[in-house]
C-alpha cells in the first residue's frame, strides 16, 4: 500500500475567551509514499495548526474537535501519547521549522543537540550517534567540524540545514516542513530547496511543505492544497493548479506572485483582510474579498466540486470558472 497519511475531516479548535475558534475546519488530504504535498496559504490560515495536529503536539489550549489522522494504517488521534512518543514521533514523522534564531536550543552546541536526538531515538551509543550526525551533516552539505558550534554561530542557511539534518536522523518516511525557507534570502532559499529535492530523490521520503510562498511550493511539490481561513479551497496537482487554477482564491494568490514568464504583469495584492475566525460569516469565507462573489456566496457555504480526477475546488461556481 502506498498510502502513508490520510487526514479526513480534521477540525482543530482553540479555546479563546470562553468559546472555540476553528483554526482547521474539516480538512481532508492524502499523502502517499514519496509524495511531495504543498500546503499554501496566507499567515494565520491554519497551516501550522494542521501540522501540529498531525504530529500530535498541539498546545493545551487547542483540541481536535473531529476527524481522523490515519498514518500507516493507524489512527494517530486514538493512539496513546506514550506510543506516539516512542514509535511515531521523529521515527516515522519528523518536522522542520522555520530557521529562526531559536529553532535550535541556544545553550547547547548544535552537534550535541543532534547527537542527543540520535542517541535517544535510535538507541545507539554516543559515538555511533556522532557518526550518524556527521554523515547527515555531509548529506545536507555542511562541514561536520561545525558540530561543535552554537546555533548563534551559524548563518540562517546553516541553521536550516542543521534542522533538516536533525529531521533525517531516523530516516522517517514523512517529513513536515513548516515554512522552511521563509527567513532566508532568495539565494539561500534556492540552495535549501535544491538540497531538499536531492534528499527526496536519494532517500525517497514523503514531504508536506507548508509555505505562504507560492513559488517555493511550485518548485518542490507535485500536489498542492490551498488553504484559507482553516478550509482547503482547492486541491490538485501542481500542474493543474498552476496552469488552470480554478478557485478564485487560488487565482488571486497566484496573481500576487511574480511570474517569471510574464514579468511585466501587474502584481495584484488581494484586497481586504483574512477572516476573523471568531466571527465566521455564513457562506463562503472568501466572499468578502472575492472578485467573482455573488449573492449565494454570502449566504450559503460552497460545496466541493471535483473538476477532474484529483482536482477539487471549494466554490459555488467552480464549474463555470473552469470554462
Partner 1 sequence: MPRTEALEPETRPAGFLPSLSDAVRRLVHFRLGLAGFVIILFFGILAIGAPYIAPYGENQQSYNILQPPSAQHLLGTDSIGRDTLSRIIYGSQVSMEFGFGVALLSLVLGIILGAFPGYFGGLIDDLFSRFFDTVLMIPAFFLIILAVALFGSNIQTSMLIVALTSWPSNARITRAQVLTLKTRAYVQASTVTGAGHLRILFKHILPNGISPVIANSALQMANAVLIEASLSFLGLSDPNHVSWGTIIFGAVENFNAWWLSMAGVTLMILTLGFNFAADGVSYLLTPRLEVAKG
Partner 2 sequence: MAGEYATPEIIAATRVRWGLDKPLYIQLYTYISGVFKGDLGFSLDFNRPVLDVIVSRLPNTLVLVIPVMIIGLGFGLMLGALAARHLGSKVDSALQVLALTFYSAPTFWLGLVLLEVFGLDLGWFPLLGGGLVGSFQSIIWHITLPVGALIVAWTTPIFMRLTRSSMMEVLKEDYITTSKAIGYPDSVIFYRHALRNALLPSVTMLGLMVGTIFSGVVLVETVFSWPGLGLLLLEAIHARDYPLLMGMFAIIAVAVSISMFITDLVYGLLDPRVTYK
Would you say how long the chain is, in residues?
A: 323
Q: Does 17 participate in binding partner 1 (rule CB under 8 A)?
A: yes
Q: Does 49 participate in binding partner 2 (rule CB under 8 A)?
A: no
Name the binder of 90 from partner 2, partner 1, none, CB < 5-8 A by kind: partner 2
DSSP H or E stretch at residue 211? strand 206-211
Query: 59 or 271, CB closer to partner 1?
Result: 59
Name the binder of 106 from partner 1, partner 2, none, CB < 5-8 A by kind: partner 2
Tell me whether residue 32 is exposed, middle or buried, using C-beta atoms within 10 angstroms of its C-beta: 0 to 12, 13 to 18, 19 or more: middle
Q: Which of 5, 14, 163, 221 binds partner 1 (CB under 8 A)?
A: 14
Tell me whether residue 107 is exposed, middle or buried, using C-beta atoms within 10 angstroms of its C-beta: 0 to 12, 13 to 18, 19 or more: exposed
Residues between 18 and 47 that touch partner 1 (CB under 8 A): 18, 20
- Least distance in angstroms from the C-beta of 6 to partner 2: 20
How far is Cα 24 from Cα 230, in angstroms, rounded to an integer? 4
How far is Cα 275 from Cα 141, in angstroms, rounded to an integer? 41
Q: Does 295 participate in binding partner 1 (rule CB under 8 A)?
A: no
How far is Cα 68 from Cα 124, in angstroms, rounded to an integer? 34
How far is Cα 27 from Cα 168, in angstroms, rounded to an integer? 27
Query: 165 or 252, CB closer to partner 2?
Result: 165
How far is Cα 127 from Cα 249, in angstroms, rounded to an integer? 52
How far is Cα 38 from Cα 189, in angstroms, rounded to an integer? 16
Residues between 216 and 275 that touch partner 1 (CB under 8 A): none
Exposure string (b/e) for 57-75, b if CB count within 10 Å is 16 or more?
ebeeebebeebbbbbbeee
Instruction: Kindly determine how many residues on this chain lie close enough to bind partner 2 according to the rule CB under 8 A.
Output: 30
Q: Which residues contact 109 (CB under 8 A, 6 or more apart)?
A: 147, 148, 149, 150
Query: 175 or 253, CB closer to partner 2?
Result: 175
DSSP H or E stretch at residue 322? none
> Residue written as cell 542517541?
119
Residues between 157 and 196 that touch partner 2 (CB under 8 A): 163, 166
Q: Does 101 participate in binding partner 1 (rule CB under 8 A)?
A: no
- Least distance in angstroms from the C-beta of 93 to partner 2: 8
Residue 323 grid coordinates: 470554462
Residues between 70 and 129 that touch partner 2 (CB under 8 A): 84-86, 88-91, 94-95, 97-98, 100, 102-109, 117, 120-121
Q: Which of 9, 15, 66, 83 binds partner 1 (CB under 8 A)?
A: 15
Exposure string (b/e) for 166-177, b if CB count within 10 Å is 16 or more?
bbbbbbbbbbbb
**Beta partners for 8?**
68
- Least distance in angstroms from the C-beta of 66 to partner 1: 12
Asked if residues 298 and 285 have their Cβ atoms less than 8 Å apart, the reply is: no
- Least distance in angstroms from the C-beta of 53 to partner 2: 12
Q: Does 80 participate in binding partner 1 (rule CB under 8 A)?
A: no
Q: Does 73 participate in binding partner 1 (rule CB under 8 A)?
A: no
Q: Does 60 participate in binding partner 1 (rule CB under 8 A)?
A: yes
| Site stretch for partner 2 (CB under 8 A), options 22-30, 50-58, 209-217, 246-254 | 50-58
Name the binder of 62 from partner 1, partner 2, none, CB < 5-8 A by kind: partner 1
Q: Using CB under 8 A as the criterion, which residues of the chain lie in contact with partner 2 when the complex forms?
A: 52, 55, 57, 84-86, 88-91, 94-95, 97-98, 100, 102-109, 117, 120-121, 150, 152, 163, 166
Q: Using CB under 8 A as the criterion, which residues of the chain lie in contact with partner 1 when the complex forms?
A: 13-18, 20, 57, 59-63
Amino acid at each position: 500500500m502506498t498510502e502513508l497519511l490520510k487526514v479526513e475531516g480534521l477540525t482543530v479548535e482553540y479555546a479563546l475567551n470562553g468559546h472555540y475558534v476553528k483554526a482547521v475546519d474539516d480538512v481532508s488530504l492524502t499523502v502517499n509514499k514519496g509524495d511531495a504535498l504543498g500546503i499554501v496559504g496566507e499567515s494565520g490560515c491554519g497551516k501550522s495548526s494542521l501540522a501540529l495536529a498531525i504530529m500530535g503536539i498541539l498546545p493545551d489550549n487547542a483540541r481536535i474537535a473531529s476527524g481522523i489522522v490515519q498514518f500507516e494504517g493507524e489512527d494517530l488521534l486514538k493512539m496513546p501519547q506514550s506510543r506516539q512518543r516512542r514509535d511515531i514521533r521523529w521515527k516515522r514523522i519528523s518536522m522542520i521549522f522555520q530557521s529562526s534564531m531559536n529553532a535550535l536550543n541556544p545553550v547547547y552546541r548544535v552537534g550535541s543537540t543532534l547527537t542527543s536526538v540520535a542517541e535517544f531515538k535510535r538507541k545507539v551509543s554516543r559515538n555511533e550517534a556522532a557518526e550518524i550526525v556527521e554523515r547527515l551533516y555531509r548529506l545536507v552539505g555542511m562541514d561536520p567540524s561545525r558540530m561543535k558550534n552554537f546555533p548563534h554561530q551559524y548563518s540562517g542557511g546553516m541553521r536550516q540545514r542543521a534542522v533538516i539534518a536533525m529531521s533525517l536522523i531516523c530516516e522517517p518516511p514523512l517529513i513536515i516542513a513548516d515554512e522552511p525557507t521563509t527567513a532566508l534570502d532568495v539565494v539561500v532559499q534556492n540552495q535549501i530547496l535544491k538540497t531538499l529535492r536531492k534528499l527526496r530523490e536519494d532517500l525517497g521520503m514523503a514531504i508536506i511543505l507548508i509555505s505562504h510562498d507560492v513559488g517555493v511550493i511550485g518548485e518542490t511539490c507535485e500536489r498542492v492544497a490551498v488553504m484559507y481561513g482553516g478550509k482547503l479551497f482547492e486541491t490538485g496537482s501542481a500542474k493543474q493548479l498552476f496552469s488552470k487554477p480554478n478557485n478564485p482564491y487560488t487565482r488571486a494568490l497566484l496573481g500576487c506572485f511574480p511570474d517569471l514568464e510574464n514579468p511585466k504583469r501587474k502584481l495584484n495584492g488581494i484586497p481586504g483582510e483574512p477572516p476573523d475566525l471568531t466571527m465566521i460569516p455564513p457562506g463562503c469565507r472568501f466572499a468578502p474579498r472575492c472578485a467573482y462573489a455573488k449573492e449565494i456566496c454570502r449566504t450559503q457555504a460552497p460545496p466541493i466540486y471535483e473538476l477532474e480526477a484529483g482536482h477539487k475546488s471549494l466554490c459555488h461556481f467552480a464549474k463555470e470558472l473552469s470554462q
